[in-house]
């Protein structure tokens, strides 16, 4: 099931960024100021990649798989709603960071709350798909059918897209880790 493994790989990558953002929340609670430019890059990356590509791809897949099993339908519905909520959460966080970068006053503990809530929502969603949606899809949908579906799913036009994204992601991840170490 290539499509599921691709989506899974996206989750693994996103999860690594989220793990570091979680550590950032701890640092914020201890009174340290993060590098907000870097924070903006990370949230922009998540917004562009997850909200702009990963979730639309899942939405399309979920649409194809709808109306075949009532339990699956129920769970897919929750996912589609999650995607909308997460998109708004990204926008909200982007606005907050943008404000801070432009000298708006936002108490750091308030920002920590926002970031923590964001990381929680993202993590909860990843775990829901990994723990409940994907196993159910694998149980209900044959590999032959998945292969057929795959060709119908929207793919990035640029064949280098995946590679570029992977590289972008690695750079951000590295910078985040360095930034975290700098704070010690």
What number of other Cβ atoms are within 10 A of residue 64's Cβ?
15
Selected range binding Fe ion among 88-96, 102-110, 121-129, 169-177, rule: CB under 5 A: 121-129
Residue corresponding to tokens 């909308």: 84
Q: Which two tokens stand for residue 6?
A: 């691709």
Please report, as residue ranges, which positions from 42 to 61 form the binding site for Fe ion (by CB under 5 A).
Answer: 58
Lay out the site mask for Fe ion across 81-120 (x = CB under 5 A, - = otherwise): ----------------------------------------
DSSP letter for each residue of 64-105: HT-SS-HHHHHHHHHHHHHHHHHHHHHHHHHHHHHHHHTT--
Residue 98 Cβ vs Fe ion, minimum distance, rounded to whole Å = 25
Lay out the site mask for Fe ion across 126-155 (x = CB under 5 A, - = otherwise): ---x--------------------------
Residue 152 Cβ vs Fe ion, minimum distance, rounded to whole Å = 18
Residue 91 Cβ vs Fe ion, minimum distance, rounded to whole Å = 17
CA distance linking residue 161 with residue 155, whole number of Å: 10
CA distance linking residue 72 with residue 32, whole number of Å: 44
Whether residue 44 contacts residue 20, with contact meaning beta carbons closer than 8 Å, is answered with no
Whether residue 123 contacts residue 18, with contact meaning beta carbons closer than 8 Å, is answered with yes
In the complex with Fe ion, which residue's Cβ is closer, 82 or 179? Answer: 82
Residue 23 Cβ vs Fe ion, minimum distance, rounded to whole Å = 22
Residue 140 Cβ vs Fe ion, minimum distance, rounded to whole Å = 18
In the complex with Fe ion, which residue's Cβ is closer, 4 or 97? Answer: 4
Interacting residues toward Fe ion by CB under 5 A = 58, 129
């Amino acid at each position: 099931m290539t499509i599921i493994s691709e989506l899974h790989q996206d989750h693994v990558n996103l999860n690594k960024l989220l793990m570091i953002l979680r550590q950032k929340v701890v640092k914020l609670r201890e009174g340290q100021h993060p590098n907000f430019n870097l924070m903006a890059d990370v949230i922009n990356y998540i917004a562009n990649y997850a909200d702009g590509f990963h979730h639309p791809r899942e939405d399309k897949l979920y649409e194809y798989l709808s109306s075949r099993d009532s339990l699956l339908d129920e769970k897919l519905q929750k996912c589609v709603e999650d995607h909308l909520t997460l998109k708004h959460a990204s926008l909200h966080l982007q606005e907050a960071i943008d404000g801070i970068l432009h000298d708006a006053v936002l108490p750091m503990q308030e920002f920590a709350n926002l970031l923590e809530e964001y990381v929680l929502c993202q993590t909860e969603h990843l775990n829901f798909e990994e723990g409940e949606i994907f196993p159910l899809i694998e149980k209900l949908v044959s590999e032959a059918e998945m292969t057929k579906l795959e060709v119908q799913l929207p793919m990035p036009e640029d064949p280098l897209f995946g590679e570029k994204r992977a590289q972008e992601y690695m750079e951000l991840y590295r910078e985040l880790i360095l930034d975290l170490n700098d704070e010690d």
